[in-house]
Amino acid sequence: MENLSIAIFLIVFFVIPFGSMAIIFEKAGSPGWGAFIPIYNLYLIIKVSDNSGWMLPLFFIPGLGIIIQILVYVKFGKNFGKGSLFGIGLYFLPFIFFPIIAFDKSEYLLKNDVEKEPVIGTT
């Protein structure tokens, strides 16, 4: 019974969000495998949200990091046609909100800008 609850926990809180993130990155023209690489997936979230990569170190500053992350996630959601509250949901409940973007018909609104500044790891 304990193994089953651990398996369900891992699926809900890790497999679903990171798998959904991989699909979202592919929608945005970034490498999907980047979702499974720690720190690099944060960098990709920053780039898909159309922010500068220099924001990554700000994620790790206590206090300020939370504010910066919420702002990045709000912009991330807006780049897929979602509202500000949806972006806050992406931050606090990724296991619910990432699959929504991954499996609904939303499209990345900045797709034409991907060629201007390539993301590391794209071919």
Two structure tokens written together for 91: 């931050």
Average pLDDT over residues 70-74: 96
In the predicted model, what is the mean pLDDT of the chain?
Answer: 89
Instruction: Measure the CA–CA gap between 116 and 47, rounded to whole angstroms.
Output: 12
Instruction: Report pLDDT digits (tens) over 8-55.
Output: 888 878 888 899 999 999 999 999 999 999 999 999 999 999 999 999
Two structure tokens written together for 66: 């939370």
Whether the CA torsion 26, 16, 49, 35 is positive or negative: it is negative
